[in-house]
Amino acid sequence: MKHYDVVIVGSGHGGAQAAIALRQAGHAEPILMVSRDRNPPYERPPLSKEYLAGEKPFERIMLRPEAFWAERDVELRLGCNANEVDAEAHSIRLSDGESISYRKLIWAAGGDPRRLSCSGADYAGIHTIRSRRDVDALRTEIEGGARRAVIVGAGYIGLEAAASLRTLGCEVTVVEMLDRVMARVAGEELSAFYAAEHRAHGVDLRFETAVEKIEGENDRIAGAVLSTGETLPCDVAIVGIGIVPSVGPLIAAGAAGSNGVDVDEYCRTSLDDIYAIGDCAAHANPYAEKSVIRLESVQNANDMANNAARAIMGDKREYDAVPWFWSNQYDLRLQTVGISTGHDDAVLRGNPAARKFSVMYLREGRVIALDCVNNTRDYAQGRKLVEARAVIGRERLADLGTPLKEMV
């Protein structure tokens, strides 16, 4: 059986950064990165933005030039699934039948897009956006003449896809079960602003509505039947309703976890010598009052990768990185810092009509998060307020005459 010092499962943001961080820290033993994806590591955020809109080719979204991995002596095994983990034997079984042994295993397998469960959900023309392959398939259909799109889910990915499809000239309807856009991650003020922007760009938004059935013709989607009884004729659908963490083999091997796999403050799972990072790793986050959550962001994947790599190199530090995130829709750049879930007050700073403003979220008088729209200055300066959980009066927070850095 071939042996590697470190085996990394997944070649997304977390997996790639883990390999980079290990080498930067002087790790010189063999590293293997196994991934189901057939492409060398690439960025995922552009998949619903510039790559979907055709504004960036694949070469410009690669995390490193292709030669980088061989130069750093990181072996890539692409198009290959990790099917089984034997935690006691310290080995994994791959989909090509080979078994590999490891000293340390880093599980960075992200998640698989949740799919529709209604009748007709298997028709051709129903897409998700998680991999390059997903987006290439969608783009091929749009280039082939698909014009009418139904997007299921008004979260970040659904809304970014809506904006990209509008720039490609598609007619777009977004169907959302809840009563506003980005309901799980943003306050009401921000949701209202983004809903108005999408409508102004010609997107038809339907709230408190579900897709109950997909109608087809010749095994291809022809329409989405809504809970309102209406049928939306369409050529393609995009389903953006979240992910299912890709942790099956780890859980089968005995790792603790219900929503993903549980990790401690050093990204260690309950199994010896197995770490988990990124979208699939449930952890007690200090910015969520230590509640156990999974964060789906590039920041979290990279910072957990650094944390796990350090722990493997004997430099253990508790995971306490400040969460941050961004989303581009049309000419709007949303940047968030902190976690707003559980806020009991929100302060608007600036004027949404000027398309440059921030929303500051408070809990028990402390600043816990900011959403900044076209306002990089507030975002950069506000981070310190979140780190300090600063207590600052509402009026002062809203005062545009006082830069946030002066409030720390």
Residues that bind ligand FAD (CB under 6 A): 9-15, 34-37, 44-45, 47-48, 81-82, 108-110, 129-130, 157, 246, 278-279, 296-299, 301, 325-327
Tell me the closest approach of the beta carbon of residue 152 to ligand FAD, in angstroms. 14
CB of 295 to ligand FAD, least distance (A): 7
Is residue 104 within 8 A of residue 5, CB to CB? The reply is yes
Residues 6+ apart with CB under 8 A from 196: none
Residue found under tokens 């009563």: 179
For the CB of residue 303, give the shortest distance to ligand FAD in the complex, in Å.
Answer: 11
Q: Are the C-beta atoms of 165 and 250 separated by less than 8 Å?
A: no
Taking the least distance from each CB to ligand FAD, the nearer of 8 and 150 is 8
> In the complex with ligand FAD, which residue's Cβ is closer, 33 or 390?
33
Smallest distance, ligand FAD to C-beta of residue 22, A: 15
Contact 228, 253 (CB under 8 A): no
Query: To the nearest whole angstrom, how small is the minimum distance from the Cβ of residue 244 to ligand FAD?
Result: 11
C-beta closer to ligand FAD: residue 39 or 402: 39
Q: How many CB atoms lie within 10 A of CB 408?
A: 14
For the beta carbon of residue 197, count every other beta carbon within 10 angstroms: 20
Give the burial class of 255: count Cβ atoms within 10 A of its Cβ; 0-12 exposed, 13-18 middle, 19 or more buried.
Answer: buried
Given the complex with ligand FAD, which of 13 and 104 has the nearer CB atom?
13
CB of 379 to ligand FAD, least distance (A): 13
Q: For residue 43, list its beta bridge partners.
A: none
Q: Which is nearer to ligand FAD, 161 or 203 (CB)?
A: 161
Nearest residue (CB) to ligand FAD, 110 versus 223: 110
What is the nearest approach in angstroms of ligand FAD to the Cβ of residue 54?
15
Q: How far apart are CA 359 and CA 336, in angstroms?
A: 9
CA 106 from centre of chain: 19
Q: What is the CA radius of gyration of the chain?
A: 22
Torsion of CA 228, 231, 236, 240, to 10 degrees: 10
Q: Which is nearer to ligand FAD, 9 or 138 (CB)?
A: 9
